[in-house]
Structure 1
Amino acid sequence: MAPLTLALVGIGKIAVDQHVPALAASADWRLGATVSRHGTVPGVPAYTDMAQMLDAHPEVSVVSLALPPVPRFAAAKAALLAGRHVMLEKPPGATLAEVHALAALAAARGLTLYTTWHSRMAHAVAPAKAWLADKTVTKATITWREDVRKWHPGQDWVFEPGGMGVFDPGINALSIMTHILPDPVHLQSAELEFPANRQTPIAARLSFSGNVSADFDWRQTGPQTWDIQVQTPQGSLALRMGGNVLEIDGQPSGGANSLMGEYPALYARMAELVRQGQSEVDLTPMIHVADALTLGRRIQTEDFSF
């Protein structure tokens, strides 16, 4: 089957680290163009203007957006209006309403829209979901602590309105939680720590129905912590390494200690959706973030700088 030609928009750290290697290794895809203010991919036609790229490359049938959330809507709308299928990096937008608008536009034009959640593609998430499917969860604890300076070096946009702050990584945990728990939960309370000089939180503590809690922090140095622990009357489950390593009752039970399988799986799924003429739009993780920003009690903490 001939590969699909794709344009990658936003050549920043996540694009270079994950999107570009995943595309290069896939027989499903050919990277036909890029759009970015500064970044390029060697050997690939590069543009700084979205409209110019769309006009110059009618062979591009799919646009993958790795832009920050705030400018993503305009780029996604332009791609859909130009008749191109669209793949959205997480979170799929800056607001829930704009993603609903994109979904309606894609449906009206018979195009694929895919809201990706890369952490759901981690090696151990599917077996964790299967193990929990027939069980009653009595408690679940999420601990997601990492170093913003390592993963977003100098990227001030993450602390601007729409940048989501610590929910940028925290939504990865929420995407796993909403996928593996056998019953839905809803937020009951939240505490959000905002640096005095920033517009989005650097830490958050969330309490959900069903005895589920989450602790997010962007100030952890040294080893990073991406853990989800679930207790049931039939035993306990733990997901480590961002959902890539599975433990059942404290014993290793599958997965792989690597993050590199997530984006190849996303692009395989996008190819499948396009060829089947389907869309996949799930906003559940983002709903929990919106609820946290609505219910959250604001705590001011010390200034933060990169």
Structure 2
Amino acid sequence: MSIQDAAQAENVAVALVGYGFAGQVFHARVLACVPGLRLAVVVSSQPDKVAADWPDVPVSPDLGAALAAHPEVQLVVVATPNAAHFPIARAALEAGRHVVVDKPFTLDAGEARQLVALAERSGKIVSVYQNRRFDADFLTLRELLAQRRVGRPVYFESHFDRYRSEVRIRWREQNVPGAGLWVDLGAHLLDQALQLFGVPDTLQLDSAILRDSAEVEDYFHAVLRYERGAHSPLRVVLHATTLAAHPAPRYLLHGTHGSYVKEGVDPQEDALRAGALPGSEGWGIDPLAGHLVAPDAAAGTSTVEVPNLAGDYSRYYAMMRDAILGRGAPPVSADEAVQLMELLDLGRRSAIEGRALPTS
């Protein structure tokens, strides 16, 4: 193999399907910063919008045409409205490509299992984009738990509170399949909880429509109960709302030896919105440090500042690149993608029935 051929083999060509907010901000801008990945084509009905950002990248009206014109594409990234995740991911797998799907993976666990089975038959990787595994404060919290800085955890709250009183005209806030806050922000908070503590014994979800003129739930409060295993007994609360002018702390953790509290959210989303790119100066640095509060015999309590580790969403795509090249596991496994959809489905059932439901 020549040096030029070797370089091309190491360069994974990517087709991005969808150029709305997620495709433009969270996928194109992030993956384009990862060495060894190349944005080869964008599938979009907005060619002018794509051209304004990526003048040298061709635009195609549909996935079939894109793959026919660009047979070198190895990875298809699906960043469409949620209802289209399954059919587009299925088409990409049937065409012999690896696939990344923006969260939520599918509309339900049944669709998720079908995609995973298809990926296994075709020998391709399918993964879901859980970028908030690479939030600065989440990485810090995970390290703090690994070091047992609060002892055994007994209670944990994870909030994603916003103030967006006006209902916007967009599919995410309309009464269509795949809309609503539980599958949007809940997919992030639940995935993080699973990474930290594993699968709970029961899950109970309360959800509601709180804003005037809202069509889908814009509030949820989930309680995860752990009664068996290494972290038991433990209670985990996952909470999100669109009517919090004064948000709660992002994380609140109580343990047998102390507590940890973290205000504010990871800065990477705002940085991407503003046009900054991974790898730029100060990328992924969250200046709002958390605080560890512990009992102190003399002063009652002592408070120690806990600086955040650096976050980096591009790590997701670097891991995906390596998995495609046979150098490691994908950042989110197919089994994890199915498991999360099963729990999101269980949460919806819990909200309808108004009770805690067992996870197995």
- Fold match by TM threshold 0.5: yes
Partner of residue 204 from structure 1, selected from 213, 220, 229: 220
User: 2:196 corresponds to which residue?
Assistant: 180
1:7 and 1:65 map into 2 onto residues whose CA distance is 9
2:141 and 2:213 map into 1 onto residues whose CA distance is 40
Alpha carbons of 1:98 and 1:129: their partners in 2 closer, same or farther (altered >3 Å)? same
Partner of residue 44 from structure 2, selected from 20, 23, 36: 36
Residue by residue over 1:125-182, the C-alpha shift from the partner in whole angstroms, topping out at 9 and shown as x without a partner, is: 23422332454221111222124579x953134433433411212321222121122x
1:125 and 1:208 map into 2 onto residues whose CA distance is 18
Partner of residue 81 from structure 1, selected from 91, 94, 103: 94
1:17 and 1:43 map into 2 onto residues whose CA distance is 18
Partner of residue 137 from structure 2, selected from 124, 135, 153: 124
1:56 deviates by 1.2
Task: Give 3-state SS (helix, strand or coil) of 2:177's partner.
Answer: coil
Task: Give 3-state SS (helix, strand or coil) of 1:206's partner.
Answer: strand
User: 1:272 corresponds to which residue?
Assistant: 322
User: 2:259 corresponds to which residue?
Assistant: 236
User: 2:271 corresponds to which residue?
Assistant: none
Amino acid at match of 1:42: P
Task: Give 3-state SS (helix, strand or coil) of 2:250's partner.
Answer: strand
Q: Tell me if the contact between 1:141 and 1:213 (Cα under 8 Å) persists in the aligned partners.
A: yes
Partner of residue 178 from structure 2, selected from 138, 158, 163: 163
Amino acid at match of 1:82: A
Alpha carbons of 1:166 and 1:237: their partners in 2 closer, same or farther (altered >3 Å)? same
User: 2:18 corresponds to which residue?
Assistant: 10
Q: Tell me if the contact between 1:64 and 1:86 (Cα under 8 Å) persists in the aligned partners.
A: yes
- Bigger drift between 275-284 and 93-102 goes to 275-284
For the pair 1:23 / 2:31, whether they are aligned, the reply is yes
For the pair 1:52 / 2:78, whether they are aligned, the reply is no
How many residue pairs were aligned?
293
User: 2:305 corresponds to which residue?
Assistant: 252
Amino acid at match of 1:229: L
Amino acid at match of 2:321: A
Q: Which runs of 5+ in 1 are unaligned?
A: 300-306
User: 1:288 corresponds to which residue?
Assistant: 343
1:226 deviates by 6.6
Partner of residue 111 from structure 2, selected from 86, 89, 98: 98
User: 1:189 corresponds to which residue?
Assistant: 204
Q: Tell me if the contact between 2:23 and 2:80 (Cα under 8 Å) persists in the aligned partners.
A: no
Residue by residue over 1:263-287, the C-alpha shift from the partner in whole angstroms, topping out at 9 and shown as x without a partner, is: x111111101111275522134433
Q: TM-score w.r.t. structure 2 length?
A: 0.73
2:262 and 2:195 map into 1 onto residues whose CA distance is 13
Larger Rg: 2
Identity, in percent, stands at 20
1:252 and 1:93 map into 2 onto residues whose CA distance is 40
Task: Give 3-state SS (helix, strand or coil) of 1:255's partner.
Answer: coil
Task: Give 3-state SS (helix, strand or coil) of 1:204's partner.
Answer: strand
Amino acid at match of 2:256: P
User: 1:304 corresponds to which residue?
Assistant: none
Residue by residue over 1:34-60, the C-alpha shift from the partner in whole angstroms, topping out at 9 and shown as x without a partner, is: 012225243211012111111111011
1:252 deviates by 3.1
Q: Tell me if the contact between 1:142 and 1:173 (Cα under 8 Å) persists in the aligned partners.
A: yes
Q: TM-score w.r.t. structure 1 length?
A: 0.84
Q: Tell me if the contact between 1:7 and 1:33 (Cα under 8 Å) persists in the aligned partners.
A: yes
Alpha carbons of 1:149 and 1:37: their partners in 2 closer, same or farther (altered >3 Å)? farther
1:256 deviates by 5.9
- Bigger drift between 52-61 and 165-174 goes to 165-174
1:298 deviates by 8.8
Q: Tell me if the contact between 1:192 and 1:298 (Cα under 8 Å) persists in the aligned partners.
A: no
Q: Which runs of 5+ in 2 are unaligned?
A: 1-6, 226-233, 267-285, 294-302, 355-360
Q: Tell me if the contact between 2:43 and 2:63 (Cα under 8 Å) persists in the aligned partners.
A: yes
Amino acid at match of 2:57: V
Q: Tell me if the contact between 2:81 and 2:171 (Cα under 8 Å) persists in the aligned partners.
A: no
Q: Tell me if the contact between 1:146 and 1:225 (Cα under 8 Å) persists in the aligned partners.
A: no
